Amino acid sequence: MNRRLDLWLMATVAALIGIGLVMVFSASAVVAGDGGDPTHFFTRQGIAVVMGLVLCAVTAVTPLATIRRWRLAAYVACGVALLLVFVPGIQHKANGAARWLGFGSLHIQPSEFTKIVVLVYLADFLDRWRGYLGEPKVLLRAVVIPVPALLLILPEPDFGTTAILAGLCGIMLFVAGMRLTHIGALAGVGAAVGVPVMIAEAYRIERLTSFRDPWAVADGAGYHTIQSWVAMHSGGWFGQGLGNSMAKLYFLPEPWTDYIGAVIAEELGWLRLMAIVLLFAVLVWRGLTIARNARDPFGMFLASTLTAMIGLNAFFNLAVIMGLVPPKGLVLPFISYGASAMIANLWAVGLLLSISAEAEAGPVAQTAAPAEGWPYRHEVGSTATGQGFGAGFGRRR
């Protein structure tokens, strides 16, 4: 099989990783140096990059059929890891949340990998049952797939990741051709469940309040947004110069994580920050191109949703530092410090490369019916199948 890899995607991700390593060092060196090692966070991020690149490379050369075959085992493994997060002695807590597994100095966040595994499992299901998504039983089974993971992630507590995973599954269902009436009903159920959960915690309400008027809570929930604005304003078009940020020294706590974009704007300027935005636009373009040219619906469903995962993560991270959306702890993919996020995002890139590599082999031969008594529907774009957006998205051969 011809496994030609997408060089545009690889070059774009390499550029983002390179920028990220430089900026993690710049944003953290002074603070880390107080502990004796200015390269502490840079070194740990570098190790995460190496681990992620190995996983990316292995995934890129692995046939999709093999990945699909191991979907259930991966789903169960992620479920076990999410359960272990609640076990004292194994869990690692930070900022009042137990979202990590602690192994010495290594802390792994299982929810980052669970998002991808759930998407693989759901894409496989939707491919096997394509044409029947309008059937209530099939739709119910599809909707239930992410529920166990959602129920384990939410009480960590991690409402943000729960909402993101639910939203990504909704995007995949839309791409697969879910009927608009069903989308509306599902969105209504999500709002009915999600809104009470969101407002149940005072700090989430404070975030909404700070979004409306950060200056009203300048010493509380609005602090990060205001300091981010000041940093971006100080940078101007061309920046203060690499390493010359004042916000990272005195005003932004842990600026190498969620608010690294503000440090980039202050040190490198708005023009270079927009260049980074352009790199993410190229990444989204390549991801959607891979989805459009995918060999089968599984690849199309998965590639489009993984692209949305990375692209929307970048959008919301930058929107938060600009005060365009309520504050939420989201990393800037491939740039912000964070081992689990880096490895998981590179794994997602490996899946995109695998889907791209198999596109040249031609469409997959039609398989048997998904279940006895259910004739397989090959006309994905027909009215009977209820396939809307997804039918036109895939390349016809």
Q: Does residue 315 belong to any structural domain of this protein?
A: yes
Q: In the predicted model, is pLDDT for residue 10 greater than 60?
A: yes
Label residue 206 by pLDDT band (50, 70, 90): confident
Task: For the chain, give the mean pLDDT.
Answer: 86
State mean pLDDT over 380-391: 38
Maximum mean pLDDT: which of 88-102, 182-196, 227-241: 227-241
| Three-state secondary structure call for residue 133 | coil
Say whether the peptide bond before residue 157 is cis (omega within 30 degrees of 0). Answer: yes
Q: Does residue 285 belong to any structural domain of this protein?
A: yes
Maximum mean pLDDT: which of 69-83, 153-167, 205-219, 322-336: 69-83
Q: Does residue 242 belong to any structural domain of this protein?
A: yes
Q: In the predicted model, is pLDDT for residue 232 greater than 80?
A: yes
Q: Does residue 141 belong to any structural domain of this protein?
A: yes
Please report how many Cα atoms fall inside a 13 Å half-sphere around the Cα of residue 324, on the Cβ side.
Answer: 7
Label residue 333 by pLDDT band (50, 70, 90): very high
Q: Is residue 335 within 8 Å of residue 283, measured between CB atoms?
A: no
Label residue 30 by pLDDT band (50, 70, 90): confident
Task: Specify the number of domains making up the chain.
Answer: 1
pTM listed for this prediction? 0.88
Q: Which residue has the higher pLDDT, 277 or 390?
A: 277
Lowest mean pLDDT among 13-27, 131-145, 220-234, 346-360: 220-234
Pick the closest to residue 306 from 261, 271, 356, 266 (CA basis): 356
What CA–CA distances, in Å, run from 138 to 124, 147, 346?
13, 15, 32
What is the C-alpha to C-alpha distance for residues 246 and 243, in angstroms, rounded to an integer? 9
pLDDT of residue 306: 98
Q: In the predicted model, is pLDDT for residue 194 greater than 90?
A: no
**What's the domain range around 282?**
7-362+376-393
Q: Does residue 37 belong to any structural domain of this protein?
A: yes
Q: Does residue 368 belong to any structural domain of this protein?
A: no
Q: Does residue 367 belong to any structural domain of this protein?
A: no
Lowest mean pLDDT among 90-94, 176-180, 183-187, 352-356: 90-94
pLDDT of residue 370: 54
Q: Which residue has the higher pLDDT, 381 or 247?
A: 247
CA-CA-CA-CA torsion for 109, 110, 113, 119, nearest 10 degrees? -130
pLDDT tens string 365-375: 554 445 444 44
Q: Is residue 41 within 8 Å of residue 73, measured between CB atoms?
A: no
Label residue 389 by pLDDT band (50, 70, 90): very low
pLDDT tens string 128-181: 998 899 899 999 999 999 999 999 999 888 888 999 999 999 999 999 999 889
pLDDT of residue 363: 60
Q: Does residue 2 belong to any structural domain of this protein?
A: no
Which pair of structure tokens corresponds to residue 109? 């966040």
pLDDT tens string 62-84: 999 999 999 999 999 999 999 99
99 class by beta-carbon count within 10 Å (0-12 exposed, 13-18 middle, 19+ buried): buried
State mean pLDDT over 350-378: 65
